[in-house]
Amino acid sequence: MATIVAKGLTKIYDKTIVAVDHVDLEVKEGEIFGFLGPNGAGKTTTIRMLSTLIKPTEGYAYVCNYNVVKEPDEVRRCIGIVFQDPALDDQLTGKENLDFHARIYGLSKNERNKRIEEVLKLVRLEDKADEFVKNYSGGMRRRLEIARGLMHYPKALFLDEPTLGLDVQTRRAIWEYILNLNKSKGITIFLTTHYMEEAEYLSDRIAIIDQGRIIVTDTPAQLRNLVGTDVITVSCNDHQSLKTELEKKDWVDKVLIHNGALEVYVRGGEGKIAALVKIADDVDVNIESINLRRPNLEDVYLHYTGRSIREEGNANGRMKMMARRRMRS
């Protein structure tokens, strides 16, 4: 059974900027669904449509069997959301922030008090309940925002870049809260991120979105298998000449020049290194270093888009994407 279904979901701004481009997705009940892509790829816009904050230009979506356009109030009652940008009142205590949110959803006083105690315990903030949020650390604020999203017993929880800007240790702690929440409560979680390791660690399935379009969806293991090859990374004095020669070989699946090195995708990489070195010698290319590794999600993204998620996620990524979309339209 699916908690979230979207078909042809599209959002166009100013008649020219295609932020989300005919997205189809299905999120199963009780799963953690990772929505992976660089800044500006359309992740937040998709969440905003699914959570009824903005209306799609085309297509439709159902959340908890409710139409996001025709039945927005019903959708809002069944979802929780943690926004990418902080949305807490730092002049209130943690408990007061939760109480205010619960009042909006019409919870009675007794129910509010009970639920506040439950969610604070879940995110391990019960000893900070009466402290002002302005004194919370970044990780504590994120945990409180997750707790707030759970106050009204949602069936689905949207987490938009939940660990953005947090240090590695805090990020890992948030991951554990998310996993525990999913396993103990069975809540469907829709998670957007541009962190490869976050998507892989948390998600039952992952959809990779690029320039507003979903390019592939599967489990992390199957996505790696789609590349299906080892990656030999070669640093040398003439990447282009070696690339040209390697592309002639039937045992080479793909060759890319990436981050100042040559990335060669082959099956049975260990057995191909000697042959690669010989080819380099034959064309008078000097090899400086060779590394062999199994494919990861970065390789999957690179395989489908021809560039890394880091390249696309720089400060100018959104502006470049908008320009491309205007040209395309």
Structural domains for the chain: 2-223 (3.40.50.300), 227-328 (3.30.70.980)
* pLDDT of res. 325: 44
pLDDT in the model for residue 299: 79
Tokens coding 101: 């949110």
Closest Cα to residue 97, out of 137, 51, 53, 134?
134
Determine phi and psi for 66, rounding to 5 degrees: -110, 140
The 10 Å CB-count burial string (b at 16+, else e) for 295-326 is bbbbbbbbbebeebbeebeeeebbeebbeebe
134-191 pLDDT, tens digit per residue, is 999 988 998 999 899 888 889 999 999 988 888 888 888 889 989 988 998 899 999 9
> What pLDDT does 199 receive?
93
Give the C-alpha distances (Å, rounded to integers) separating 193 from 84, 140, 275. 10, 19, 39
pLDDT at 323: 41
Check residue 166 and give its pLDDT. 83
Residue type for position 328 = R
Ranges of the chain with pLDDT below 70: 307-329
- The predicted structure's pLDDT at residue 313: 53
pLDDT at residue number 136: 95
